[in-house]
Structure 1
């Protein structure tokens, strides 16, 4: 077994494969950080345009849900509010 093979397969772990996986994850983590920064900038833009960013976040959350789930939650919210006299 060559020295290179020793380094790439230590204790039954394929070193080059592991390195590839770790590096791909690191690249994706960097992309995620960049995307989070872009999203933050867009929220700042929305705020400077006069939009309430809390409401914008709620709209985004609602749009991710199925219509039936949104309807059920709205019905429960209405029911609870009436029960509280609101």
Structure 2
């Protein structure tokens, strides 16, 4: 009787594990597809004459909290001034 319960528990656990792994694999496939789409957009932007490094920087900055972005920009401006880069 105990062996039946153990076998059932292992079957359920294996099924749950398989479901988790398959969900993660699907998400990985979707992430790869999204990554490929992003590469195409960057290539299109570059072909139009835009600087993709600048676009990536803009995206990073837009994702930031405005106060954190302002602080980072202020520190960078201060350091640039200290090095005579202004």
TM-score when normalising by structure 2: 0.86
Q: For 2:29 and 2:21, how far apart are their aligned partners in 1?
A: 12
Where in structure 2 are there 5+ consecutive unaligned residues? none
Provide Cα deviations, 1:1-58, integer angstroms capped at 9, x if missing partner: 29xx837616xx7111111001001110100110000000000010001000000000
Looking at secondary structure, tell me which structure has more helix per residue.
Answer: 2
CA distance in 2, matches of 1:57, 1:18: 37
Quick check: 1:31 aligned with 2:53? no
Aligned length: 82
Secondary structure class of the residue paired with 1:9: helix
Distance 1:32 1:71 in 2: 31
Runs in 1 of length 4+ with deviation above 2 angstroms? 5-8
Matched, 1:63 2:29: no
* Two-structure CA RMSD over aligned residues (Å): 2.0
In structure 1, the partner of 2:41 is: 42
Contact 1:43/1:53 (CA < 8 Å) preserved in 2? yes
TM-score (norm 1): 0.86
- Does 2:15 match 1:19? no
Higher strand content, 1 or 2: 1
